[in-house]
Amino acid sequence: MQSESGTSVRVRFAPSPTGYPHLGNIRTALFNWLFARHHDGKFILRIEDTDITRKVEGAVEVILDSLQWLGLDWDEGPYFQSQRLAIYRETVHKLLKEGHAYLCYCSPERLETMRHEQAKQKQPPKYDRHCRDLAQEERTRLESSGATPVVRFRTPLEGETTFHDLVYGLVTFRHDTLDDFVLLKSDGYPTYHLANVIDDHVMTISHVLRAEEWLSSTPRHVLLYQALNWQAPQFGHLPMILGPDRAKLSKRHGSTNINEYQKEGYLPDAMVNFLALLGWSLDDRTEVLSREELIKQFSLERVGKTAAVFNKDKLEWMNGFYLRKLNLGEYVQQAMPFLNRDLPGFVKRPLDEAYVGEVLSLIKERAKTLAEIPQLASFFFLDEIQYDPGLLLGKKLDAQAAAKAITVASRQLQEVEIWDATTLEGNVRPLAGELNLGTGELFGLLRIVVTGRTAAPPLFQTIAVLGKKKCLERFDAALRLLPA
RNA sequence: GCCCCCAUCGUCUAGAGGCCUAGGACAUCAGCCUUUCAAGCUGAAGAUCAGGGGUCCGAAUCCCCUUGGGGGCACCA
């Protein structure tokens, strides 16, 4: 498909490896990906590693893994800005030559005291343009002093810049509220402003879809495009995702890195569906959309402007929903790594896949995340279960009555030949009357005996899966736990 | 302090002047189902559409102001 300007759609996701990607970063990636796929365009991955001091080891790998995990495949890249320094320098020379940029020798110390002064006088912190029009002798003096300059953009002093944002509409900034921002740092690396403009141009990016936090630096970028005589891409800023405290997502918000969600057992499809609904909607009722539907339906027109607080409860619900939709085979595949990871070490590995399948068919409806599964299913795998013996007692059930019920039930079970839920229930249910107990009471007691828990899958299905031997052992164990 | 953006149930949102006595989803509560827990189904509660002015026959929807929230203002991205 062609965009309005007649060129094909090319979008990029351009994270910086200064940390692990969080929900907000990934939502941006997702929207770019959906936009590209919808328009049959290209999704390009670019690593903005121009700050060597903040680089986090392993971050690039985590970024790539996260995208792969979610199925957000890219068509080009990853490109690394740190390997493209020559391109930036060349462009800076051009800007310098044409008077759109200038060398600035101000020391970090001077800049800091300047800002300090400005703050004291309640002035907006802005570079005072000290080096903007240096006299020639002053320049030579500074050059010979050995100070390494930075390159700054010569921002127009008057006028204003207006651009049309695909999400927010017309946005205008007066030039006198901008300052002469740095293009090239003294270490020779470009700043974000420079590098992203150059790369977006060189890579013929058609649409820049990024978080709203970039809205206020967009006029700088527009000005740069103009100075370079390049056509700017279309900009579309995406509403922010906020933490529960309504502040920009950060490390302070705990589990916000996307790889945490993988570890917690969320499914990529659920994650994608949920994230898509943060800032975008199809209509007034559709909540569940497959990847294909999302691609087909996604449009910038339906992206909202309001920042969204992300709601983990809803994510959990959606994940549970996707989990329940899985067929048993898929479910086993998904759950197996989590069982291996979280079941106690003394449980024999490898786990028997057929047995795991039977177990999971019982807990499938009960898990909201894959990480809950080992916990929900642990009693199926342990030889001995631990629980508070007090659970065996009830209102009408003292130790003696409980012991009797357990003994009777145990004896009855020993007789059962066909070990399936229906047969088991047919044999055990009548015992309630004989023991003068309510069925709920008896079943509740047996549930504790067999699972050690008050909440578990249906009793007879559980007994069926557990097997005769293990069940009878648990009946004996319960008897031993009961006070004499 | 300055600049920019935003403003509908607790949260995510629908709503592009009359269909709104504001719809859906999550969460909450209740009922049904039921041997427990889930799931499922049904229902309830929950938003004077931030407040105030306009415009209009008519405003959640358009304009202005106020307030609130967010973002930006680095040799970070």
Rounded to two decimals, the ipTM of the complex is 0.96
A42 is catalytic: no
In a domain, A348, yes or no: yes
pLDDT band for position A146 (50/70/90)?
Answer: confident
**SS3 of residue A256 by DSSP:** coil
Task: Please tell me which residue lies nearest to nucleotide B37, judged from CA to C1'.
Answer: A455
Across residues A244-267, what is the average pLDDT? Answer: 87
Query: Do A412 and A467 belong to one domain?
Result: yes
Distances, alpha carbon A218 to alpha carbons A162, A192, A225, A241, in Å: 10, 12, 11, 19
Q: Quickly give A458 CA vs B33 C1' distance in Å.
A: 14
Query: For chain A, how many structural domains are there in total?
Result: 5
Q: How confident is the model at residue A251 (pLDDT cuts 50, 70, 90)?
A: confident
pLDDT of residue A349: 94
**Closest residue (CA to C1') to nucleotide B7 in the complex:** A306
Residue A313 has pLDDT above 70, yes or no: yes
Average pLDDT, chain A: 95
Distance CA A464, CA A10 (A): 57
User: Are residues A96 and A166 both part of a single domain?
Assistant: yes
Do A76 and A196 lie in a common domain? yes
- Same domain for A363 and A406? no
| Nucleotide with smallest C1' distance to residue A457 CA | B37
Averaged pLDDT for residues A229-258: 89
Q: Which of A91-95, A255-259, A292-296, A480-484 has the lowest mean pLDDT?
A: A480-484
| Distance B67 C1' – A30 CA (angstroms) | 35
Strand B positions closer than 7 A to protein CB: 1-8, 10-15, 23-27, 35-40, 69-77
Side-chain-side CA neighbours of residue A384 (13 Å):
6
**In A124-217, alpha helices (H):** 136-144, 192-202
Q: CA-to-C1' distance for A442 and B31, Å? A: 26
Q: What is the mean pLDDT of the segment spanning A13-37?
A: 97
Task: List, for residues A73-83, the tens digit of each pLDDT value.
Answer: 999 989 999 99
CA A120, C1' B1: Å apart?
9
Protein residue minimizing CA–C1' distance to B15 = A284
Closest nucleotide to the alpha carbon of A362, via C1': B38
Tell me the pLDDT tens digit for each residue of A180-228: 999 999 999 999 999 999 999 999 999 999 999 999 999 999 999 999 9
> Would you place residue A449 in the very low, low, confident or very high pLDDT band (cuts 50, 70, 90)?
very high
CATH number for the domain including A360?
1.10.8
Share of chain A above pLDDT 90, in %: 91
* CA closest to B11 C1', residue: A311
Tokens matching residue A88: 């930036």
Q: Is the residue at A3 inside a domain?
A: no
Mean pLDDT over residues A258-274, rounded? 97
Q: In this structure, are A280 and A155 located in the same domain?
A: no
Q: What local confidence, expressed as pLDDT, does residue A5 receive?
A: 46
| A152 located within any domain | yes
> Measuring from the CA of residue A107 to each C1', which nucleotide is nearest?
B75
Mean pLDDT of the A358-369 span: 97
Are A213 and A343 members of one domain?
Answer: no
A319-CA/B32-C1' distance, Å: 26
How wide is the angle at C-alpha A284 spanned by C-alphas A283 and A286, nearest 5°? 65
- What's A56's domain CATH number? 3.40.50.620
Taking residues A123-146, what's their average pLDDT?
92
Catalytic residue among A251, A312, A325, A396: A251
Instruction: Note the CA–C1' distance, A451 to B35, in angstroms.
Output: 14
Q: Give the closest nucleotide to A105 (alpha carbon vs C1').
A: B75
A399 pLDDT more than 60: yes
Tell me whether residue A30 is in a domain: yes
CA A284 to C1' B15, in angstroms, rounded, equals 8
pLDDT (tens digit, 9 = 90+) per residue, A99-133? Answer: 999 999 999 999 999 999 999 999 999 999 999 99
Q: Which domain holds residue A358?
A: 327-373
* Assigned domain for A409 exists: yes
**Number of CB atoms found within 10 A of residue A316's CB:** 17
pLDDT band at A2 (very low <50, low <70, confident <90, very high): very low
Backbone angles phi, psi at A11, to 5 degrees: -120, 165
A159: tokens are 């006028």
Nearest-CA residue relative to C1' of B24: A285
User: What DSSP state is assigned to residue A391?
Assistant: G
Find tokens 């999971």 and name the residue.
A360
- Residue pLDDT, tens place only, A373-387: 999 999 999 999 999
Question: Which nucleotide is closest to A106, CA to C1'?
Answer: B75
pLDDT the model gives residue A3: 43
Residues A215 and A343 placed together within one structural domain of the fold: no
Position A478 pLDDT exceeds 50: yes
